[in-house]
Amino acid sequence: MVSIFNAPTRNLDIVTLHEILRLRQDVFVVEQGAAYPDIDGRDLEPGTLQFWAGQGSVDATLRLLREPDGTERIGRVATAAASRGQGLAAQLMEAAIAEARSSRIAIDAQAHLEQWYARFGFVRSGEDFSEDGIPHLPMARTR
């Protein structure tokens, strides 16, 4: 059985943090070819929570940020190739939404995942844009 976890980045043990960062690198940098600064300092901001799913490993992850304006932001949603199709990212999305304290949650979604994020109540909130050569769109969910 897969377990869902969350914790502030500063409270993670070094092995879990390593596995989260490795998974993000495997998916975004290696698989998607997006050479970008994943370790951007935001993981260490007060209020940032890391979510992960797995059975003694990190099979999927995302992070929940608390923006200065009170909005919360879900990002870095990634699932290991071998673990896709099991609903892990959906479970993490539900857990992050449940944990959010703001009435507004934002996400910058890869365009091909617009309908997937819509399942969780996210709607388009602006114009399409390209990030690292990948089409994205802003989306938001309000309570």
How many angstroms separate the CA atoms of 29 and 62, rounded? 15
Amino acid at 69: D
CA dihedral 120, 63, 47, 58 (to 10 degrees): 120
Retrieve residue 53's tokens. 């799913």
Q: CA 46 → CA 6, 42, 53, 120, distances in Å? A: 14, 9, 22, 25
Tokens of 43: 């993981």
Average pLDDT, the chain: 95
Nearest to 71 by CA among 106, 44, 99: 106
| Structure confidence at residue 129 (pLDDT) | 96
- The pLDDT assigned to 99 comes to 95
The per-residue pLDDT for range 8-53, each reduced to its tens digit, is 999 999 999 999 999 999 999 999 998 888 999 999 999 999 999 9
Regarding beta strands 72-79 and 104-110, do their DSSP bridges make them parallel or antiparallel, or are they unpaired? parallel
Task: Give the chain's radius of gyration (CA, Å).
Answer: 14
Contact at 8 Å (CB) between 54 and 80? no
Q: End-to-end CA distance of the chain, in Å?
A: 31
The pair of structure tokens assigned to 108 is: 């910058």
* pLDDT at res. 5: 96
pLDDT digits (tens, 9 = 90+) for 63-100: 999 999 999 999 999 999 999 999 999 999 999 999 99
pLDDT digits (tens, 9 = 90+) for 97-108: 999 999 999 999
